[in-house]
Amino acid sequence: MFGKVKASASKNATLPILAACLLTDKTCVIKKVPILQDVKTMIGLLKALGADVTLDDNNLTIHAGNDLALEAPYEIVSKMRASYYVLGPLLARFHKAKVYLPGGCAIGPRPIDLHIKGMESLGASVRIEHGYIATEAPVLKGTNILLEGSLGPSVGATANVMMAATLSHGTTTIISAALEPEIVDLANFLNTLGAKIEGAGSSNIKITGVKELNGGEWTPIPDRIEVGTLACAAIVTQGHIEIENCLPEHLGVVIMKFKEMGCDISETDTSIIINSKYRAKASSIVTAPFPGFPTDLQAQFMSALVTAEGISFVTENIFKSRFLHALELNRMGAKINIEDNVAIVTGVEKLSGAKVMASDLRASAALVIAGLSAQGETEVSRIYHLDRGYEQLETKLQNLGAKIERVAGKN
């Protein structure tokens, strides 16, 4: 594959930002929003709660008035785990919220205990019954909250507690906060609305509560996971591509691994160029919270490793069940053995096209990447997973020279 491609805005940054618009009765405009199924689901949720939402050429205008429903419907929440992001904003602004336990990808349990701990620490009562979380608090009071769980800091809980604390009384310090760029982006957006948040991007985030928030405009950061996915596609096709609209500082360890595989990487402030002339070399990764290797790129990176020269080890420390794509890759001729949370990848010279099935969002991208390098035709089913997190991925790959198409009537 050869040429230039532009990454979309970050899904993982956009979703909490959209939920944060519930914190104010003023109008918010979120620009260059990626048109993804998860974003559509969040828009549907905001509308179901009573917010006015209009979409015009990737720009969303959101006005969440004072007459909102305080219950997130099961029919919507069951489709997307990120629906729980409305819990903190609704509780903070209306002192009450009811959100059904979320759905999402089948990649293992992702407990919400830290979300509950955070709300309770702020003074809310929390009940879990009949499949939903009900929270209530006449007033939220600032405090120190330790949010580190058994798997490290929680991105979702950090975002939820940070949003709730913006309208609390006093000062809240989140200790062992998530460091992800998406958390920084959310904090920066909230600050443009009048919040007082310091330390985002560090392990301690300080939030001084304010009486109310204003409206504002914001453009979410580029999607570092999409950038990494496109780079993996370039590697398996021994391509030379430039990915625009990206922030290389968000991909530090990922870029280091690409270089370790033998790729030539050059960077500007807003783009990276990947030149992969030869068969890639083996490399090993261990997924970890930012700034470590992101779990959301593990599957795609594995697809790049299956035809690399040598033996690679992929250790998944975040979601223990996130290896379902390995079984499908083996059907294409890959040699992957799973031992607990470690995948041992013995590189093969080539893959063979096959009919494969996506189990989750990132697995779907991994199978597409594998299909780009496989001999013969690969058919990936259940691509509705792909549409949850990638905006027109097949079109972007086509423009780089890939032979890929979406077949009508198949998903």
pLDDT per residue over 65-98, tens digit each? 999 999 988 888 878 878 889 999 999 999 999 9
- Decide if pLDDT at 402 tops 70: yes
Q: Which CATH class is domain 224-399?
A: alpha beta
Residue 107 is predicted with a pLDDT of 38
Nearest to 328 by CA among 318, 338, 320: 338
Q: What is the mean pLDDT of residues 385-389?
A: 94
Residue 80 is predicted with a pLDDT of 81
Residue 411 is predicted with a pLDDT of 65
pLDDT tens, residue by residue, 251-299:
999 999 999 999 999 999 999 999 998 999 999 999 999 999 999 999 9
- Of 105, 232, 246, 263, the catalytic one is 105
Residue 151 is predicted with a pLDDT of 74
Residue 408 is predicted with a pLDDT of 79
- By three-state DSSP, how is residue 301 classified? helix
- CATH fold for the domain made of 8-214: UDP-n-acetylglucosamine1-carboxyvinyl-transferase; Chain (3.65.10)
Distance between CA atoms of residues 15 and 107, nearest Å: 19
What confidence tier does 105 reach under pLDDT thresholds 50, 70, 90? very low
Nearest to 178 by CA among 363, 50, 12: 12
Domain ranges for the chain: 8-214, 224-399
Q: What tokens appear for 225 in the block?
A: 């996971």
As a whole number, the mean pLDDT across the chain is: 94
Looking at the whole model, is its pTM more than 0.85?
A: yes
Is residue 246 flagged as an active site residue?
A: no
| Strand residue runs (E) in 57-181 | 59-63, 71-72, 96-100, 125-129, 132-136, 144-146, 148-149, 152-153, 171-175
* Residues in contact with 315: Cβ distance below 8 Å, sequence separation at least 6, in sequence order: 284, 285, 286, 287, 341, 342, 343
Measured CA to CA in angstroms, residue 170 lies from 45, 213, 376 at distances of: 30, 15, 62
Q: How many CB atoms lie within 10 A of CB 362?
A: 30
pLDDT tens, residue by residue, 330-355:
999 999 999 999 999 999 999 999 99
Strand pairing report for 216-218 and 27-30? parallel
- Decide if pLDDT at 47 tops 60: yes
What confidence tier does 106 reach under pLDDT thresholds 50, 70, 90? very low
**121, 131 Cβ separation under 8 angstroms:** no
Residue 148 is predicted with a pLDDT of 84
What confidence tier does 368 reach under pLDDT thresholds 50, 70, 90? very high
In CATH terms, are 8-214 and 224-399 the same topology?
yes
Q: What is the mean pLDDT of residues 215-221?
A: 98
Q: How many CB atoms lie within 10 A of CB 321?
A: 14
